[in-house]
Structure 1
């Protein structure tokens, strides 16, 4: 006979940990499982560690709403739990006259998303803020910041454990089925009956859904993998105190400069469409970065960039397509009571993690054993 469990959270990335914490604080019996030998080893630890304000996402989208809500929850949480973070602010820079007009549209979209603190920065003030930055004009986003993603995940994990959640690593979902109306999941071949299953497996969320017999295959969205490569300076520090983003073009955010909590700069991510998970960073891809970076930082030295790391976005849209929204599937979407799938959680997933956890907690509120 299968073991019985109230709530199984699959995936110990930042979203899985936030969801587990939320459910445990609501009094649920929670077990977190992950196939790796440590928490947060994939998408959650391979990103820019930026706390996004919620500027670019389509108005009314889940990404916009969860980012704006999640940003404030995250800043409050990090302050309360002493998770290292910094509200550095971001400059969105226009380097030609055609881009200056785009700043108005960006500011209007941000306001429609509930981001009301963006302000225009003229060239003279910009020169005072960042003397090495060359731009005609910029938008300053004071709500954008950076966070220690590993410290955040450690804190969420600790909170979940303090509320009674257990974590089991090096454990894989091998198969599953629906028994008496509830999901039954095989963990390394051992069946576990669950009142609620939250599929937060990130890049592996599709594999988990496909492993469950009876799950309607037409409800599994297409998975598209987009690698983002990052490059760091080979020596010295970039002379900036803000994050620097160009005006978006061609469906992407451009080659931007982010800073870590030690003040070290990194550039990226770019977009490299791939067919299989591969974290190798090709040093040659940095060649395309120089011209783009020098549009706003002409002082970037030759041969200054070296491969740092890469991350892979679990996307629902591909090359040339509009960016797809987050997808949270409940029983009304696929017909299996107690199963919630999270697909396509790329940026701003880190920023939004606590807001996502609220939504999942509400969806699962009436599904306890």
Structure 2
């Protein structure tokens, strides 16, 4: 298969990691990444919280669990080699109510099945040793959970592709994908490029790009905006590491947590509100086209029927700092509305099936010469190098890792 040209749609961290893996695995293969923006890592990668997840939450045997745990050492080694910040600041998954203790115990067993390193249970007193300003009655402590700079990692991957003789074509918004004799033609307006095989890693636009490739309609992407507060600089020393809630299985998202960043800031959040555009990073960004497509999809109405109460609560937090911080105070009682300012926001590409089920696991499949990554939510950044191995093995059918 030497001297093939492999095209990749999307220059987020998953697409770039996969391009790099292919270039390393098959020297002589030319990789061309197509990206509609003028730089890499603009969307989910560029708005990522920077957490390197240890694999605590994910169902044992799922792609999420396996590829997250596999991806951590790959990412850590890459960051160390390239001088990219990688700091194991640790995470507390904290119970603040008695009724959370059973779920925390289940989480501990799940993490053990996922071989999460060095995870331990800690008491109320031990919580105070790790986080003197934290609340909580018990917690799980993951000392190996880390933070990094994912846009810097993505830029490193892009450079690796170019150094191998490949290309990252910026400003190339894919408008058509056509099967032609001996390959696939990828077009942006009148600009056309023929490739032998094509990978779709389009994130927020994954369903739209899959439609261009005549892939099946499901799952569809529902954009959820996650809004953050920032601790004021004089308050950042109240938090040492990552502080997370025990997830409630009735709700699709983790809830508000405290996240130190590599730049020294500390985020509080996110909430999760339905965005009014796939790239709707602010309340004012509305796409009639995206809303119409969502309204026409039966799964969207079924999802709304299941989770509308949660949606109302999340929107309340979006509009009121006091409401946003109500849950946060349970975890760090000394932090209130006066201690934060509005921060940034990201948009999560949440895949949704026709029956209203929010797709939890990574979803990757092949259609002829095309391999489509249809769902890659968190921990996709953590797992990016392991996802790349998985996708490359599927493309080449060899099952090997580089």
Q: Which residue of 1 aligns with 2:229?
A: 231
Q: How does 1:128-147 map to 2 (within 5 A)?
A: 128-147=129-148
Once the two structures are TM-superposed, the CA of residue 217 in structure 1 deviates from its matched residue by 3.6
Say whether residues 1:325 and 2:354 are aligned partners.
no
Whole-angstrom CA distance in 1 between matches of 2:197 and 2:173: 17
Evaluate the alpha carbon distance shift between residue 361 and residue 296 of structure 1 in structure 2; reply closer, same or farther with a 3 A threshold.
same
Task: State how far apart, in whole Å, the 2-side matches of 1:265 and 1:216 are.
Answer: 41
- Residues 252-286 of structure 1 show CA distances to partners (whole Å, capped at 9, x for unaligned) of 31210000113321011211123423101696253
Q: 1:119 to 1:366 in 2, by over 3 A?
A: closer
Aligned to 1:356: 387
Matched-pair contact (CA < 8 Å) for 1:174–1:189: no
Aligned with 2:335 (options 270, 293, 300): 300
Q: Distance in 2 between matches of 1:263 and 1:323?
A: 33
Q: Deviations over 1:163-184 (max 9, x none)?
A: 1111110011111221236322
* Matched residue, 1:289: 324
- Aligned position for 1:160: 161
User: C-alpha distance in 1, partners of 2:358/2:349?
Assistant: 15
Q: What RMSD over aligned residues (CA atoms) do the two structures have, in Å?
A: 2.1
Flag the 1:320–1:256 CA change in 2: closer, same or farther, 3 A: farther
Separation (CA, whole Å) in 1 of partners of 2:21 and 2:176 = 26
Q: In structure 1, what is the equivalent of residue 244 of structure 2?
A: 245
Asked whether the equivalents of residues 275 and 281 of structure 2 are also in contact (C-alpha less than 8 Å), the reply is no
Distance 2:359 2:234 in 1: 36
Shift of 1:87: 0.7
Greater Cα offset, 94-103 or 161-170: 94-103
SS across alignment from 1:44:
coil
Q: Tell me if structure 2 keeps the 8 A contact 1:223–1:316.
A: yes
Aligned length: 356
**Residue 328 of structure 1: CA displacement?**
0.8
CA shift, 1:345, in A, is: 1.3
Residue 97 (structure 2) pairs with residue 106 (structure 1): no
Q: After superposition, what is the alpha-carbon deviation per residue over 1:276-307, rounded to whole angstroms, capped at 9, x for unaligned?
A: 23101696253322210111211113332222
Which moved further from structure 2: 275-284 or 299-308?
A: 275-284
Shift of 1:187: 2.8
Aligned to 2:220: 222
More divergent stretch after superposition (66-75 vs 186-195): 186-195
Normalised TM-score (structure 1): 0.90
Is structure 2 residue 370 aligned with structure 1 residue 339?
yes
Q: Provide the residue aligned with 1:206 in structure 2.
A: 207
Q: Deviations over 1:17-71 (max 9, x none)?
A: 1011111112221111100001110010112110001111112111111111111
Q: 1:207 aligns to what SS in structure 2?
A: helix
Q: Deviations over 1:61-97 (max 9, x none)?
A: 1111111111121112111221111011100111122
- Separation (CA, whole Å) in 1 of partners of 2:322 and 2:387: 37
Following the alignment from structure 2 to structure 1, what is the Cα–Cα distance between the partners of residues 76 and 19? Answer: 19
Give, in whole Å, the separation in 2 of the partners of 1:273 and 1:340.
Answer: 28
8 Å CA contact 1:43–1:311 kept in 2: the answer is: yes
Q: Secondary structure at the match of 2:175?
A: strand
Q: Which has the higher helix share?
A: 2
Over 3 Å counting, the alpha-carbon distance change for 1:234 and 1:155 in structure 2 is same
1:59 corresponds to which residue?
A: 60
Secondary structure of 2:54's counterpart equals coil
